[in-house]
Amino acid sequence: MNPSSQLTQIPIRIIKEQELIIGPLAWEEASRVSGLVIDQSRNSVSFSGDGKDVIDRLVTQYERIFGKASHAVCHEAVQDIVSQMPPDEVPSSLK
């Protein structure tokens, strides 16, 4: 899998993990993140702009409302994806 397709997997994984905890609010909050284009019916996302920055904004969006615990949840949810990515491709919030 190339780094850009790995990157698009990350937001979906994070949103779904947050959905387990806060329900539909997870999708609502994600839709507020600029540069993140969500197609919930297809479970897919795309970025307008730099993907790494968009993911950082998504993590921050959750953390701003729900605190550090939500950051840890984001981090944990994508561990297996991140571990296979080149370090410079990993969004800073998930390092």
Partner 1 sequence: MLNNDSSIVSPEEYKKITEELYKRNLELATLYKQVDSLNKELGVANENLRNVIKQRESLEHLITHKVKGAFTRSKYIFAGILDGTFGEISPEIKKIAKQGLDSDDTGITTVDLILNVANMQKGIVKYDMKTVDLKEIALKIINEKKDSAEEKGIKIESEIGDDTYNVSGDAFWLKEVTNNLIDNSIRYTQKGGITVRLQKHDDKVLITIKDTGIGINEEDKKHLFTEGGRGQGSTRINVDSTGYGLYSVKLIIEAHKGRVWAESLGADKGSTFYVELPAV
- How many Cβ atoms from other residues are within 10 Å of residue 14's Cβ? 25
Stretch that binds partner 1, among 29-37, 42-50, 52-60, 66-74 (CB under 8 A): 66-74
Residue 67 interacting with partner 1 (CB under 8 A):
yes
How many whole angstroms separate alpha carbon 32 and alpha carbon 46?
14
Q: Among residues 49 and 67, whose Cβ is nearest to partner 1?
A: 67
Residue 27 interacting with partner 1 (CB under 8 A):
no
What HEC string does 7-55 produce? HHHHHHHHHHHHHHHHCCHHHHHHHCCCCEEEEHHHCEEEECCCHHHHH
Candidates 3, 35, 53, 66: give the one binding partner 1 (CB under 8 A).
66
Residue 61 interacting with partner 1 (CB under 8 A):
no
Footprint of partner 1 (CB under 8 A): 20-22, 65-70, 73
